[in-house]
Amino acid sequence: MKPRPYLLTLLFLAVAVALSIAVGSVFIPPADLWRVLTGRPPQEVSQAAVILLTLRLPRTLLVLLTGAALGGSGAAYQGVFRNPLADPYLIGVASGAGLGAVLAMSLRWPYSPLGLLAVPAAAFLGALLTVFLVYALARVGKVVPTTNLILAGVAVSAFAGALTSFLMLRSSGELHRAVAWLLGGSVVAGWKPALIVLPYLTLGLGILVLSGHALNLLQFGDEQAAQMGLPVTRAKTVILLAASLTTAAAVAFSGIIGFIGLIAPHIMRLWFGPDYRRLLPLAAIGGAGALLVADVLARLLMRPQELPVGVVTAVAGAPFFLWVLRRAKNQGYW
C-alpha cells in the first residue's frame, strides 16, 4: 500500500473547513450555506449571509492560518533542535510572541488603523528574542538535550507570562478580552486579522517549506551536515527566523495556543516518514485541520458559550505530550 500523504491530509483539512463553516451558535441550513458561498444570496437568507461573511468565514480563515503556522513552525523547531518535544508553546516562543503582542496592545496600537499591523511585528520581535534566549540557555556544546530545552522553555515562558499578566492588569478595562485572547481567542473580528497575518505567514512558511532539505541534513548532526555541503549556522539562523515569524503570525491575533505545533508534525512523521521536504507542508496542512476541529469543539462543548480554543488543544495535547515523552525516552533517540 502506498500512502498518499497530501491527498489524505488535504481531505482532512477540507472536512475541517466544512465543519467550521457549518457549525455555530446559529444553525444555517446547508442549502442556504451553499447559496451564500456561491454568491447568490436571496433576501430570506440575508441573515445567514451576514453571519457567514462577517463571522464564520473570516474566523475559519484565521484559524486555518493559525493552525498552519503552528504546525509548520513546530516541525521546523523540532528539526533544528533535533528534538521531538520542541513546539512553539513548550519552548516559550509563543509566550514571547504573546508578550510582544500584548505590549503592542497595551500601548493601544491596535485601535489605530496602522496599529493593527504593529501587533504581528511586535510578536515577531518577542518570538525572536525568546527563541535565541531559550536556545542559548538550553544548549550544551552542540546538542540541545530535551530536559534543558523544556526547562529553559518553561522558565522563559513563565517570565514572559508574568510580564504579560502585569501589562494586562495595568491596562484595566480590556482585561477580559485580553485574557480571552491569551487563551486562544480572536480579539478583533472580521477579515482584517487574517489579511494582516497572511503576508507574515506566507513569507515564514514559504521559507520553511523550502528548508526541507536543509532540515533533513541537520538530522545527521551539524558536522555531517557541513561535510555534505550545508552552511550550518546560516541555515539554522534562517530557519529559526522563519519559524519565529510564522509563530508570531499565529500568536498575533489568535493568542497562545499550545500543542498543535507538537501534535501535527508528530502524527505526520509517524504516518508519512521523517523527510522534512514533505513533513513541513504536511504538518502545516495537518495543523490547520487540527486547529479547525479544536475550534469547532470549542464552539460546541459549552453552548451557547464558547471555550477558548487553547483550552481544547491543551486538554487533548497534554496527554499526547506525555505519550511522546515516554516514547522518546524508550527509544532512546532524538
Partner 1 sequence: MLRIENLSVFYGPRPVLHGVTLEVASGEVLGLIGPNGAGKSTLIRAVSGVIPVAGGRVRANGDDLLALPVLQRARRVAVVPQAVTLPPAFTVWETVLLGRTPYLNFLGQISRRDEDIGRAALARVDALDLAERRVGELSGGEQQRVLLARALAQSTPILLMDEPTVHLDLHYQIGLLEQIRSLAHGDGLAVLLALHDLNLAARYADRLALLVEGRIEAVGWPRQVLTPDLLSAAYQLPVEVIAHPLSDAPLVLPGR
Binding site for partner 1 (CB under 8 A): 210, 212-214, 216-217, 219-224, 226-232, 269, 273-275, 277, 331, 333
165 Cβ contact list (under 8 Å, min separation 6): none
Tell me 111's DSSP state: G
Number of residues written out for the chain: 334
**What is d(CA 184, CA 311) in angstroms, rounded to the nearest whole number?**
8
**What is d(CA 53, CA 59) in angstroms, rounded to the nearest whole number?**
10
Query: Up-side HSE of residue 261: CA atoms within 13 Å toward CB?
Result: 34
**What is d(CA 99, CA 255) in angstroms, rounded to the nearest whole number?**
10
Q: Which three cell numbers stand for residue 306?
A: 464558547
CB-based burial, 233-249: b 16+ in 10 Å, e otherwise: eebbebbbbbbbbbbbb
SS3 329: helix
